[in-house]
C-alpha cells in the first residue's frame, strides 16, 4: 500500500471538490474540512481499519477475489477490483450518502 492514499471527489454536496487523504501516521484528513454531520461517519473506523481496508484493496484483490467490504453500523466502505491497478471505491451510509471513486496504484 502506498504511504498516502488520496481520493478526490467532485460532488455538489461537498462543493467543487473534496480531497480525502489517508496517511499511515496521520490517519484521515479532508480538504476542505467537511461538516461534522459527515465527519462522524468516517470516524466510525479506526486508523488500523483504514490501513486494513486500503491494504486489502491494493494488494489482495484480483480477478478471482474482486470485492472487499468493511462495515460498521450503517457506514460501509467497499472496494471492487476493476483491472490491473484500478479499484472502484464506494462509501455509503444508509441512503443519505453515497460516494463513488476510483483508485489507481502507480
Q: Report, as an integer, the average pLDDT of 78-93.
A: 84
pTM of the model: 0.71
Work out the angle at residue 53's Cα, subtended by the Cα atoms of residues 65 and 26, and round it to the nearest 5 degrees: 155
DSSP code at position 13: G
DSSP code at position 12: G
Can you list the pairs that 94-101 forms with residues at least 24 positions away whose Cβ atoms lie under 8 Å? Answer: 97/13, 97/38, 97/41, 99/9, 99/11, 101/7, 101/8, 101/9
Q: What pLDDT band is residue 101 in, cutting at 50, 70 and 90? A: confident
% of the chain at pLDDT higher than 90: 8
Amino acid at each position: 500500500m502506498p504511504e498516502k492514499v488520496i481520493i478526490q471527489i467532485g460532488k455538489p454536496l461537498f462543493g467543487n471538490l473534496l480531497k480525502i487523504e489517508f496517511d499511515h501516521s496521520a490517519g484521515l484528513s479532508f480538504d476542505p474540512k467537511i461538516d461534522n454531520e459527515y465527519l462522524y461517519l468516517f470516524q466510525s473506523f479506526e486508523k488500523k481499519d483504514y490501513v486494513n481496508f486500503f491494504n486489502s484493496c491494493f494488494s489482495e484483490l484480483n480477478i478471482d477475489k474482486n470485492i472487499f467490504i468493511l462495515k460498521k453500523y450503517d457506514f460501509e466502505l467497499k472496494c471492487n477490483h476493476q483491472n490491473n491497478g484500478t479499484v472502484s471505491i464506494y462509501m455509503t451510509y444508509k441512503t443519505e450518502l453515497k460516494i463513488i471513486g476510483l483508485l489507481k496504484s502507480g
